[in-house]
């Protein structure tokens, strides 16, 4: 997957009664995600990510939300397809489930700056 791509997904964070978090999940949280249909059985399919919650800074347990996930090492992942399911985990504990809505370019990701001449026109 290219580094400037993010996964937009419909997520559900489990309630404490379902084994999930007791506190809200916040944008900036770095959970691990596990793709359910990861094609390589010899690879565990767990990937570190950074979570952004659309329309809010947090989402309480037991509530659905739309999230964006930036994988911290996307070079190890094939780009997932819309409809792909994955779990959101903290260590071995599953705290949520999600389904890919789409994979999109992220305008906030660092890109190389356009080549501009320095002051004075010298390079």
Largest CA distance in the chain: 65
Indicate the domain borders of the chain: 5-105
Q: Which CATH class is domain 5-105?
A: mainly beta
Nearest to 70 by CA among 10, 8, 11, 13: 8
pTM of the model: 0.77
Dist CA 69 CA 87 (whole Å): 12
Residuewise pLDDT in 10s, the chain (123 residues): 777 789 999 999 999 999 999 999 999 999 999 887 655 555 557 888 999 999 999 999 999 999 999 988 887 777 788 998 999 999 888 999 999 999 988 765 433 333 444 455 554
């Amino acid at each position: 997957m290219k580094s400037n791509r993010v996964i937009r997904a419909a997520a559900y964070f489990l309630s404490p009664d379902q084994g999930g978090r007791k506190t809200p999940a916040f944008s900036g949280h770095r959970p691990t995600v596990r793709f359910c249909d990861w094609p390589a059985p010899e690879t565990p399919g767990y990937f570190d990510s950074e979570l952004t919650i659309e329309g809010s800074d947090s989402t309480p347990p037991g509530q659905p939300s739309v999230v964006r996930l930036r994988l911290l090492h996307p070079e190890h992942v094939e780009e997932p397809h819309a409809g792909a399911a994955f779990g959101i985990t903290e260590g071995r504990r599953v705290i949520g489930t999600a389904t890919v809505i789409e994979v999109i370019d992220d305008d906030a990701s660092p890109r190389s700056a356009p080549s501009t001449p320095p002051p004075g026109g010298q390079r």
